[in-house]
């Protein structure tokens, strides 16, 4: 009796099954029309599900390709398939074994870690988009949605800090403090634990602002970099921060990373 050609590949995974599916597709094109379908079974988490897949695969004369990282479930699939004489291909184990040999570390054996990494990526993208949208007080309504709200006068690293923290998955809004402009009312509706004030040394700020004016091709002696003006802004900002009751960080001699580390301590309740 002529043996029936395998026309279906069952892809079984304790996660999305994308890896096994890609390998199955790459293999199937080598057999022209002999492989007619790739059927995916994602998020397999117990033996009962495997039993159902094995029974169906036996009836359909299928090949099973799988990526299951949980050792117990993986072994159960392999042994059950052997009993039913179903060809199985373990896509992950050979590579895991090789990496275990070279790193001398055990694999974590947790399903869906790749998906979790993707979720982290999208959270980071969302946080960066948030920081851009609510940068420099563009829309004060954002402070209520933020994980952290930075306040300070111009050139106290509010924007670089916002972007740095966004890359750590924090949604950050920042509000500039300007004597001629009353802070938005939303700022006073934010829990104090989310507020961080930024200040700096007036001489350092004077130097930074002069450099900024030169970079823009403007007169470095403009009011923006005037020492009297700077002192007035810092005094006003200090009064606002005191009214808000928020912690204040002096960024004069700190890199963005150092200031960010302090902010993480504060929001985690370290201070």
Q: Which residues are annotated as a binding site?
A: 152-159
User: Which of helix, strand or coil describes residue 160?
Assistant: helix
17: left (phi over 0), alpha (psi -120 to 50) or beta: left
For the annotated binding site for ADP, the residues are 152-159
- Residue 271 and residue 262: Cα distance in Å, rounded? 9
State the burial class of residue 148 (Cβ atoms within 10 Å of its Cβ: 0-12, 13-18, 19+).
Answer: buried
> Are the beta carbons of 188 and 207 closer than 8 angstroms?
no
Q: Where are the beta strands (DSSP E) in the chain?
A: 8-13, 37-41, 63-67, 88-90, 148-152, 172-176, 195-199, 248-250
Summary count for the chain: helices (H), strands (E): 9, 8
């Amino acid at each position: 009796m002529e043996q029936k050609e395998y026309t279906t590949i069952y892809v079984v995974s304790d996660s999305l099954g994308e890896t096994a599916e890609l390998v199955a597709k790459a293999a199937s094109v080598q057999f022209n029309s002999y492989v007619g379908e790739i059927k995916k079974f994602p998020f397999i988490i117990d033996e009962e599900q495997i039993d159902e897949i094995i029974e169906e695969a036996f009836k359909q004369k299928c090949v099973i390709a799988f990526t299951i990282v949980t050792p117990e479930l993986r072994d159960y699939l392999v042994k059950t398939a052997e009993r039913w004489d179903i060809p199985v291909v373990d896509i992950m184990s050979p590579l895991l074994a090789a990496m275990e040999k070279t790193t001398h570390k055990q694999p974590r054996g947790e399903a869906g870690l790749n998906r979790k990494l993707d979720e982290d990526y999208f959270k980071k993208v969302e946080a960066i988009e948030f920081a851009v949208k609510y940068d420099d007080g563009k829309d004060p309504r954002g402070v209520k949605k933020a994980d952290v709200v930075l306040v300070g006068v111009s050139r106290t690293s509010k924007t670089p800090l916002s972007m740095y923290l966004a890359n750590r998955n924090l949604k950050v809004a920042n509000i500039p403090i300007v004597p001629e402009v009353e802070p938005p009312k939303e700022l006073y509706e934010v829990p104090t634990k989310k507020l961080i004030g930024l200040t700096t040394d007036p001489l350092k700020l004077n130097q930074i602002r002069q450099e900024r004016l030169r970079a823009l091709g403007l007169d470095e002696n403009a009011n923006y970099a005037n020492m009297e003006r700077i002192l007035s802004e810092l005094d006003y900002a200090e009064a606002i921060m005191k009214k808000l009751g928020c912690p204040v960080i002096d960024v004069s001699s700190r890199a963005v990373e150092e200031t960010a580390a302090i902010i993480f301590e504060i929001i985690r309740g370290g201070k």
